[in-house]
Amino acid sequence: MTLMRPTQPASFLGTGWSFPPIFDRAHATVVMTRDVINIKQSLWVLFSTSLGERIMLATYGSNLRLKVFDALTETLANEIRSLVFKAVLDWEPRIDLTQVEIVQDAPLDGVLKIEVDFVVRQTNSRSNMVYPFYLTESTLPPPPL
């Protein structure tokens, strides 16, 4: 995990608060993340946010939560894929999506995995992340580091 202290130079890919926020009591600061870790955490926040949830950025988010109680069909997978592509296109200019896969991890338990493959524009490096999507009501675990 690439954590950043205030004395380190800023990354050209972006620097931001870690998610969930981590506080460094010794230096009285918030721990910052950068590079691909920051991009992945930004995607996690983007996918976890409903449209209209942020008052000053009403179009920020993906509205995946509206699909929580829908039937597990190919149509649902295509709708989720479309929501993810639109959210990333609108709100994450640092990457280009190459593929979004919807994988039925435990269909009887209502768990889908949204596998996102992307290319970082500045470095042309490939990366991926997996976002668990629960089709039954539950609380999301914190993102992996």
pLDDT score, position 138: 52
Is the pLDDT at 75 greater than 60? The verdict is: yes
Angle in degrees, 0-180, between the axes of helices 35-48 and 74-91, rounded to the nearest 10: 120
Quote the CA–CA distance of 37 and 140 in Å, as a whole number. Answer: 19
Domains of the chain: which residue ranges? 3-134
Is the pLDDT at 137 greater than 70? The verdict is: no
Place of tokens 């976002």: 131
pLDDT score, position 33: 84
Percent of the chain with pLDDT over 70: 83
The CA angle 132-86-44, to the nearest 5 degrees, is 35
Average pLDDT over residues 53-66: 92
pLDDT score, position 11: 59
Q: What is the 3-state secondary structure (H, E, C) of 37-106?
A: HHHHHHHHHHHHCCCCCCCCCCCCCCCHHHHCCCCCCHHHHHHHHHHHHHHHHHHCCCEEEEEEEEEEEE
Q: Cα torsion for 123, 11, 128, 73, to the nearest 10°?
A: -110
Are 82 and 90 in contact by the 8 Å Cβ rule? The answer is no
Q: What is the CATH number of domain 3-134?
A: 3.10.450.40
Percent of the chain with pLDDT over 90: 46
Average pLDDT over residues 127-140: 75
pLDDT greater at residue 72 or residue 117 = 117
What is the pTM for the complete model shown? 0.78
Q: Which two tokens stand for residue 64?
A: 């995946």
Instruction: Name the average pLDDT for the chain.
Output: 83
Q: Which two tokens stand for residue 8?
A: 């380190």
